Amino acid sequence: MRVLLVEDEPDAARMLAKGLRRYAYAVDVAANGEEASYQASVNDYDLLILDVMLPLKDGFSICRELRAAGSAVPVLMLTARDAVEDRIAGLNTGADDYLVKPFDFQELLARVRALLRRGPALRPENFQLADLRLETQSRTVFRGTARIALTNKEYALLEYLARRAGTVVTRGEIAEHVWDETFDPFSNTIEVYVQRLRRKLDEGREPKLIHTRRGMGYVLAVESE
Ligand code: CA
C-alpha cells in the first residue's frame, strides 16, 4: 500500500515515514502543498496523510482540488490541536478522517488501517487461498501450519497480490503500490522479490500459488499450469 505523506515539519515527516515503512507501507513524502498536488496527480496512491498548515498550498485546498478532479483516494488530515473549525473544514473539503496533533503513532496507524479497509482492501482482515493464510493485523503468513517468515517488502508484495487474487497484476501496478518514488523502473527488483516470495511460499508445496503471466505480470491463484 502506497502512501503520500504531506508534512512540512522535517522531524515529524521523518518519524512518521520511518514508522509507516516499518509496517510495510511504501511512503513518499511531500514537504509543501504544490509538491503534494503534483505527486498526487502523477501517482496512484492508496492513501494521503495531509497536514493542514503547509507552505505554498494548504491541506484543505489540496483535498478540495483532488475531489474536484474526481479522486476518491482516502485522505487523513492532520489538524492543529483544538482547531475545531479546522476539523469541520477538513471534512467539508472531502477528507475522510482527521487526527489532532499531537497524536500517538499507534493512533495514526489505526486510522490508516481503518481508511485502507474502506478501499479495495482485504475484507475480512484475514485472507485465505488454499492453505495460504494472511493475517493482516499481525502481518503473519501461514501455509497450513507452517509460518512463513517474510521481510516487510515481501509481505507488502504478497498482501498486494492477495488483494487482487485471481487477477493478473502488472509490474507497473506492483511498482506503483508496493514501492515508493525511489523505485527504479529499469531494475529487476520486482522479479527478484517475486522469486524470493515464490521460494518461501511455493517451494516444496502444492498447489503452487504464485504464477507468472509472460509479458503481463503475476497472479496469485490456485490453478493447474
Ligand atoms: Ca505544518
Residue 125 confidence (pLDDT)? 72
Do β-strands 126-129 and 97-100 pair in parallel, antiparallel, or remain unpaired? unpaired
User: How much distance in Å is there from the Cα of 183 to the middle of ligand 1?
Assistant: 27
Q: Measured between alpha carbons, how far is 179 from 156 in angstroms, rounded to an integer?
A: 9
Cis peptide before 120 (omega within 30 of 0): no
Residue 194 confidence (pLDDT)? 97
* 48 closest CA partner among 70, 31, 29: 29
pTM: predicted TM-score of the whole model, two decimal places: 0.74
Q: Examine residue 135 and state whether it is found in any structural domain, yes or no.
A: yes
Q: Based on the fold, state whether residues 7 and 82 are members of the same structural domain.
A: yes
Q: Based on the fold, state whether residues 69 and 48 are members of the same structural domain.
A: yes
User: How much distance in Å is there from the Cα of 32 to the middle of ligand 1?
Assistant: 9
Question: What is the four-CA torsion angle of 171, 220, 125, 103, rounded to 10 degrees?
Answer: -20
Strand partners, 133: 128, 142
User: How much distance in Å is there from the Cα of 100 to the middle of ligand 1?
Assistant: 12
Contact 118, 74 (CB under 8 A): yes
Distances (CA, A) of 107 to 45, 66, 104, 110: 21, 25, 5, 5
Contact 202, 208 (CB under 8 A): yes
What does the block give as the cell for 206?
502444492
Q: Based on the fold, state whether residues 134 and 54 are members of the same structural domain.
A: no
User: How much distance in Å is there from the Cα of 62 to the middle of ligand 1?
Assistant: 13
List average pLDDT for each run of 10 residues in the chain, which is 225 residues long: 96 96 94 96 94 94 92 90 68 85 93 79 72 90 95 93 92 91 88 96 95 94 76
Structural domain total, the chain:
2
Q: Based on the fold, state whether residues 8 and 104 are members of the same structural domain.
A: yes
Q: Examine residue 73 and state whether it is found in any structural domain, yes or no.
A: yes
Residue 79 confidence (pLDDT)? 86
191: domain CATH number? 1.10.10.10
User: How much distance in Å is there from the Cα of 6 to the middle of ligand 1?
Assistant: 9
**CB < 8 Å & 24+ apart, contacts of 202-206:** 205/131, 205/143
Q: Based on the fold, state whether residues 47 and 137 are members of the same structural domain.
A: no
Containing domain of residue 144, as a range? 126-220
Q: Based on the fold, state whether residues 93 and 147 are members of the same structural domain.
A: no
Q: Examine residue 101 and state whether it is found in any structural domain, yes or no.
A: yes
Q: Based on the fold, state whether residues 12 and 108 are members of the same structural domain.
A: yes
Residue 107 confidence (pLDDT)? 94
Query: Hey, CA dihedral for 177, 181, 185, 187, is it positive or negative?
Result: negative
